[in-house]
Amino acid sequence: MPRKNRFSDLSGRFTPAPYQQLNSIWLEGTVLGEPEVGESSGLEGCRAVYRFEVATSRWQVQDQEVSVFAVEVSEPKEELRRALTRGRGVRILGRLHQTRWTDQAGRPHNEVHIVGNSVEPRPKLQ
């Protein structure tokens, strides 16, 4: 009879151990505009959020590739809103969040944005 361990079923075949999936992102970039103040209605009810866009760039051999990401920060402090100005560097630690919906015409839509758990404005360049 095959030897059993915590990764095998009764027949001795390998079965993967349960694991927790990781949804984490660390992003450094440049704020593209002033944050919009709004509300998000989640499972905990309505809460204040800031929404803003961050641009990142990566140099290829001859061109620069620029990506823009939407960021949402829940229950932000006023100091953070004042610090997040256009052109300021920012470091964000958070997770990806996907929203799906169908419009009135029946077309499906999909949006992915970053939910910032920790947002750190970078020092201003002099």
For the stretch 12-41, pLDDT in tens is 565 555 656 778 899 999 999 888 888 775
Considering only CA atoms, which of 24, 27, 23, 22 is closest in space to residue 92?
27
For 78, the 3-state DSSP assignment is helix
- Percentage above 70 pLDDT, the chain: 76
Report whether pLDDT(66) > 70: yes
CA atoms of 96 and 51, how far apart (whole Å)? 14
Render pLDDT for 97-108 as a digit per residue (tens, 0 to 9): 988 889 999 999
Nearest to 87 by CA among 125, 32, 50: 32
**Domain 26-121, CATH homologous superfamily name and number:** Nucleic acid-binding proteins (2.40.50.140)
